Chains A and B, each alone.
Chain A
Amino acid sequence: DIQMTQSPSSLSASIGDRVTITCRASQSIKTYLSWYQKKPGKAPELLIYGASNLQSGVPTRFSGSGSGTDFTLTITSLQPEDFATYYCLQSTSIPRSFGQGTKLEIK
């Protein structure tokens, strides 16, 4: 099974900051990596798919990069609505596996 390791597990930042979250796979997953935003009481929402493709309707301050085993999610110019928990997901093989999450909090 493929293990997904996210870092950091939590992050404090201010409005307007740029933040980067990383996700590392235990073996190559090509670009079968997607990122999700989850807010309390709501379902996760797709932000990025194929490692770097922005889902329709998602603000352009979100971007993703990487291939193989190392991936990043970057949020430029943080907005109040961006404070949430972020998860990566590998979809190269079964079982599908998520990172453990990164909780982004307001400093």
Chain B
Amino acid sequence: QTVVTQEPSLTVSPGGTVTLTCASSTGAVTSGYYPNWFQQKPGQAPRALIYSTSNKHSWTPARFSGSLLGGKAALTLSGVQPEDEAEYYCLLYYGGAQPWVFGGGTKLTVL
């Protein structure tokens, strides 16, 4: 059973920078896992932010960026805004019998 691990919670000050990570129980995350990132606010459906490690959708604010960092997928928010307070989920592609696995989510608090 593949497990994708994210920080359960992080806190950042408005205007600050924070990095969320996404690790795989199978080893280092590479571009071949096509990391996706989603933002979910309370009572809402998830919203796609990043695909294939670092590609943004047209609606993704410029302050969000994706990368690979130390064997993990990473989502960095620079110049955090109060409206960025949300749960963030990563999604990794494994192919084979268990193609797509979500991370457990990171609750980001802006305080």
| A, B: real partners | no
- Which residues of B pack against A, CB within 8 Å? none
- Which residues of A pack against B, CB within 8 Å? none
